[in-house]
Structure 1
Amino acid sequence: MQAPSMRQLHLHVISQDFNSKHLKNKKHWNSFNTAFFRDSVDVMEEVNSCGKARLQDDDKLLSMELRCHRCRSAHPNIPRLKLHITNCQAPFSAHLLENGRLAMTIDPTNLDALNKLFLGHKLLTENKAEN
Protein backbone atom coordinates (compact mmCIF):
# COMPACT_ATOMS: atom_id res chain seq x y z
CA MET A 1 0.00 0.00 0.00
CA GLN A 2 1.37 3.40 -0.92
CA ALA A 3 0.95 6.31 1.44
CA PRO A 4 -1.26 9.05 0.01
CA SER A 5 0.44 12.09 -1.46
CA MET A 6 3.93 10.64 -1.49
CA ARG A 7 5.86 8.42 -3.83
CA GLN A 8 9.07 8.44 -1.82
CA LEU A 9 9.54 8.30 1.88
CA HIS A 10 9.89 11.74 3.39
CA LEU A 11 10.12 13.32 6.80
CA HIS A 12 7.90 15.95 8.40
CA VAL A 13 9.14 17.98 11.34
CA ILE A 14 6.05 19.34 13.04
CA SER A 15 5.15 21.55 15.94
CA GLN A 16 2.58 20.46 18.46
CA ASP A 17 0.21 23.41 18.05
CA PHE A 18 -1.20 22.07 14.74
CA ASN A 19 -2.54 25.53 14.01
CA SER A 20 -1.63 25.70 10.33
CA LYS A 21 -3.39 27.04 7.27
CA HIS A 22 -2.13 23.92 5.48
CA LEU A 23 -4.27 21.58 7.59
CA LYS A 24 -7.39 22.04 5.48
CA ASN A 25 -9.37 18.81 5.74
CA LYS A 26 -9.99 15.67 7.77
CA LYS A 27 -7.47 13.65 5.77
CA HIS A 28 -4.72 16.21 6.42
CA TRP A 29 -5.53 16.42 10.13
CA ASN A 30 -5.72 12.67 10.62
CA SER A 31 -2.51 12.02 8.71
CA PHE A 32 -0.66 13.84 11.51
CA ASN A 33 -2.90 13.04 14.50
CA THR A 34 -3.55 9.30 14.29
CA ALA A 35 -1.34 6.21 14.18
CA PHE A 36 -0.95 6.91 10.45
CA PHE A 37 1.80 9.40 11.40
CA ARG A 38 4.80 7.43 12.54
CA ASP A 39 7.78 8.58 14.54
CA SER A 40 10.94 8.70 12.41
CA VAL A 41 12.92 6.73 14.99
CA ASP A 42 10.36 3.90 14.85
CA VAL A 43 10.45 3.87 11.04
CA MET A 44 14.26 3.81 10.98
CA GLU A 45 14.31 0.91 13.45
CA GLU A 46 11.79 -0.99 11.32
CA VAL A 47 13.75 -0.41 8.10
CA ASN A 48 16.95 -1.54 9.82
CA SER A 49 15.38 -4.72 11.20
CA CYS A 50 12.94 -5.67 8.39
CA GLY A 51 14.41 -3.97 5.34
CA LYS A 52 11.30 -1.86 4.79
CA ALA A 53 8.65 0.13 6.60
CA ARG A 54 5.07 -1.08 6.68
CA LEU A 55 2.03 1.10 6.21
CA GLN A 56 -1.11 0.84 8.26
CA ASP A 57 -4.62 0.69 6.83
CA ASP A 58 -4.75 4.34 5.84
CA ASP A 59 -8.44 4.47 4.88
CA LYS A 60 -9.58 3.72 8.43
CA LEU A 61 -7.07 6.04 10.05
CA LEU A 62 -7.55 8.96 7.67
CA SER A 63 -11.34 8.84 7.91
CA MET A 64 -11.56 8.79 11.72
CA GLU A 65 -13.55 11.53 13.41
CA LEU A 66 -11.73 14.79 14.06
CA ARG A 67 -10.34 14.93 17.57
CA CYS A 68 -8.28 17.51 19.41
CA HIS A 69 -4.71 16.27 19.77
CA ARG A 70 -4.57 17.54 23.35
CA CYS A 71 -7.93 16.85 25.05
CA ARG A 72 -9.29 14.30 22.50
CA SER A 73 -12.65 16.10 22.19
CA ALA A 74 -14.51 15.39 18.93
CA HIS A 75 -15.36 18.13 16.41
CA PRO A 76 -17.63 18.02 13.33
CA ASN A 77 -15.33 19.88 10.92
CA ILE A 78 -11.92 21.53 10.54
CA PRO A 79 -13.04 25.14 11.23
CA ARG A 80 -14.64 24.10 14.54
CA LEU A 81 -11.60 21.98 15.46
CA LYS A 82 -9.21 24.84 14.69
CA LEU A 83 -11.31 27.22 16.77
CA HIS A 84 -11.12 24.73 19.63
CA ILE A 85 -7.35 24.08 19.43
CA THR A 86 -6.52 27.79 19.62
CA ASN A 87 -8.03 27.82 23.12
CA CYS A 88 -7.45 24.26 24.36
CA GLN A 89 -5.45 24.24 27.57
CA ALA A 90 -5.32 20.47 28.13
CA PRO A 91 -1.83 19.13 28.80
CA PHE A 92 -0.04 17.36 25.98
CA SER A 93 -0.30 13.60 25.81
CA ALA A 94 2.03 11.90 28.30
CA HIS A 95 3.77 9.80 25.66
CA LEU A 96 4.90 12.94 23.84
CA LEU A 97 6.45 14.29 26.98
CA GLU A 98 7.95 11.00 28.15
CA ASN A 99 9.75 9.77 25.07
CA GLY A 100 10.51 13.22 23.73
CA ARG A 101 10.31 12.21 20.08
CA LEU A 102 7.55 14.50 18.84
CA ALA A 103 7.92 17.10 21.55
CA MET A 104 11.69 17.06 21.26
CA THR A 105 13.18 20.52 21.43
CA ILE A 106 16.19 21.12 19.23
CA ASP A 107 18.27 24.18 19.86
CA PRO A 108 19.02 25.61 16.39
CA THR A 109 22.45 26.61 17.66
CA ASN A 110 23.19 22.97 18.54
CA LEU A 111 24.50 21.66 15.23
CA ASP A 112 25.18 18.18 16.63
CA ALA A 113 21.48 17.62 17.37
CA LEU A 114 20.44 18.94 13.95
CA ASN A 115 23.04 16.78 12.19
CA LYS A 116 21.79 13.67 14.00
CA LEU A 117 18.22 14.41 12.95
CA PHE A 118 19.12 14.90 9.28
CA LEU A 119 21.67 12.06 9.22
CA GLY A 120 18.95 9.70 10.46
CA HIS A 121 16.65 10.85 7.65
CA LYS A 122 19.45 10.46 5.08
CA LEU A 123 20.20 6.90 6.23
CA LEU A 124 16.52 6.03 6.10
CA THR A 125 16.05 7.34 2.57
CA GLU A 126 19.24 5.63 1.34
CA ASN A 127 18.08 2.35 2.87
CA LYS A 128 14.67 2.78 1.22
CA ALA A 129 16.27 3.47 -2.18
CA GLU A 130 18.26 0.22 -1.98
CA ASN A 131 15.07 -1.83 -1.49
Structure 2
Amino acid sequence: MRQLHLHVISQDFNSKHLKNKKHWNSFTTAFFRDSVDVMEEISGCGKARLKDDVKVLSMELRCHRCRSAHPSIPRLKSHITNCQALFPANLVENGRLVTAPSNAGVNS
Protein backbone atom coordinates (compact mmCIF):
# COMPACT_ATOMS: atom_id res chain seq x y z
CA MET A 1 0.00 0.00 0.00
CA ARG A 2 1.44 3.37 -1.03
CA GLN A 3 1.15 6.38 1.22
CA LEU A 4 -0.93 9.39 0.32
CA HIS A 5 0.90 12.63 1.12
CA LEU A 6 -1.47 15.53 1.78
CA HIS A 7 -0.76 19.22 2.37
CA VAL A 8 -3.29 21.69 3.68
CA ILE A 9 -2.14 25.18 2.84
CA SER A 10 -3.24 28.74 3.38
CA GLN A 11 -3.50 31.15 0.48
CA ASP A 12 -1.15 33.85 1.78
CA PHE A 13 2.01 31.97 0.68
CA ASN A 14 4.06 34.33 2.84
CA SER A 15 6.63 31.90 4.18
CA LYS A 16 10.40 32.01 4.43
CA HIS A 17 10.35 28.32 3.47
CA LEU A 18 8.81 28.99 0.05
CA LYS A 19 12.12 29.72 -1.67
CA ASN A 20 12.08 28.64 -5.29
CA LYS A 21 10.03 28.43 -8.47
CA LYS A 22 9.44 24.69 -8.11
CA HIS A 23 7.93 25.15 -4.64
CA TRP A 24 5.79 28.11 -5.70
CA ASN A 25 4.46 26.39 -8.81
CA SER A 26 3.79 23.13 -6.97
CA PHE A 27 1.22 24.96 -4.80
CA THR A 28 -0.19 27.56 -7.20
CA THR A 29 -0.71 25.63 -10.44
CA ALA A 30 -2.70 22.59 -11.52
CA PHE A 31 0.18 20.45 -10.19
CA PHE A 32 -1.42 20.86 -6.73
CA ARG A 33 -4.57 18.76 -6.66
CA ASP A 34 -7.59 19.50 -4.54
CA SER A 35 -8.23 16.88 -1.85
CA VAL A 36 -11.87 16.49 -2.96
CA ASP A 37 -10.73 15.56 -6.47
CA VAL A 38 -8.22 13.03 -5.09
CA MET A 39 -10.83 11.46 -2.77
CA GLU A 40 -13.30 11.15 -5.67
CA GLU A 41 -10.63 9.49 -7.79
CA ILE A 42 -9.79 7.04 -5.00
CA SER A 43 -13.49 6.26 -4.52
CA GLY A 44 -14.05 5.74 -8.24
CA CYS A 45 -10.80 4.04 -9.28
CA GLY A 46 -9.46 2.64 -6.03
CA LYS A 47 -6.35 4.81 -6.25
CA ALA A 48 -5.11 8.26 -7.11
CA ARG A 49 -3.05 8.53 -10.25
CA LEU A 50 0.09 10.60 -10.21
CA LYS A 51 0.26 13.08 -13.06
CA ASP A 52 3.62 13.68 -14.69
CA ASP A 53 3.31 17.46 -14.83
CA VAL A 54 6.94 18.29 -14.10
CA LYS A 55 6.90 20.96 -16.84
CA VAL A 56 4.28 22.87 -14.82
CA LEU A 57 6.84 23.30 -12.04
CA SER A 58 9.13 25.32 -14.33
CA MET A 59 6.45 27.73 -15.58
CA GLU A 60 6.96 31.45 -15.00
CA LEU A 61 6.17 32.79 -11.53
CA ARG A 62 2.66 34.22 -11.33
CA CYS A 63 0.70 35.77 -8.49
CA HIS A 64 -1.96 33.32 -7.33
CA ARG A 65 -4.47 36.16 -6.96
CA CYS A 66 -4.02 38.55 -9.91
CA ARG A 67 -1.92 36.20 -12.14
CA SER A 68 0.74 38.89 -12.82
CA ALA A 69 4.16 37.51 -13.83
CA HIS A 70 7.32 38.13 -11.78
CA PRO A 71 10.98 37.41 -12.59
CA SER A 72 12.06 36.08 -9.17
CA ILE A 73 10.74 34.74 -5.87
CA PRO A 74 11.81 37.88 -3.93
CA ARG A 75 9.95 40.13 -6.40
CA LEU A 76 6.91 37.83 -6.35
CA LYS A 77 6.84 37.77 -2.54
CA SER A 78 7.10 41.55 -2.45
CA HIS A 79 4.14 41.70 -4.82
CA ILE A 80 1.92 39.22 -2.93
CA THR A 81 2.48 41.10 0.33
CA ASN A 82 0.70 44.07 -1.25
CA CYS A 83 -1.58 42.45 -3.84
CA GLN A 84 -5.13 43.63 -3.33
CA ALA A 85 -6.72 41.50 -6.05
CA LEU A 86 -9.70 39.48 -4.94
CA PHE A 87 -9.40 35.73 -4.90
CA PRO A 88 -11.12 34.10 -7.89
CA ALA A 89 -14.86 33.70 -7.26
CA ASN A 90 -14.65 29.90 -7.42
CA LEU A 91 -12.31 29.99 -4.38
CA VAL A 92 -14.66 31.92 -2.12
CA GLU A 93 -17.89 30.85 -0.47
CA ASN A 94 -19.51 32.94 2.26
CA GLY A 95 -16.32 34.99 2.54
CA ARG A 96 -14.09 31.95 3.06
CA LEU A 97 -11.61 30.19 0.79
CA VAL A 98 -12.99 26.79 -0.09
CA THR A 99 -11.26 25.03 -2.99
CA ALA A 100 -8.57 25.22 -5.64
CA PRO A 101 -9.52 26.44 -9.13
CA SER A 102 -9.64 23.76 -11.80
CA ASN A 103 -7.76 26.04 -14.19
CA ALA A 104 -4.99 27.12 -11.80
CA GLY A 105 -2.29 26.18 -14.28
CA VAL A 106 -3.79 28.15 -17.13
CA ASN A 107 -2.15 31.50 -17.80
CA SER A 108 -4.46 34.39 -18.31
Query: Partner letter of residue 81 of structure 1?
Result: L
Aligned to 1:91: 86
Give aligned pairs, total.
96
1:48-87 equivalence runs, <5 A: 48-87=43-82
Q: In structure 1, list runs of 5 or more residues that go unmatched.
A: 1-6, 103-131
5+ residue gaps, structure 2 = 101-108
17, 40, 45: which one aligns with 2:35: 40
Instruction: Tell me how far apart the structure 2 counterparts of residues 88 and 95 of structure 1 sit (CA, whole Å).
Output: 18
Distance 1:16 1:47 in 2: 26
After TM superposition, the score normalised by the length of structure 1 is 0.68
Match of 2:20 among 21, 25, 29: 25
- Give the structure with the higher percent strand: 2
TM-score (norm 2): 0.81
SS at structure 2 position matched to 1:84: helix
Percent of residue pairs identical: 82
Whole-angstrom distance in 1 between the partners of 2:28 and 2:7: 13
After TM superposition, the runs of 4+ consecutive aligned structure 1 residues lying more than 6 A away are none
Spell out, residue by residue over 1:108-130, the C-alpha distance to the aligned partner (whole angstroms, 9 max, x if none).
xxxxxxxxxxxxxxxxxxxxxxx
Which amino acid in structure 2 is aligned with residue 100 of structure 1?
Answer: V
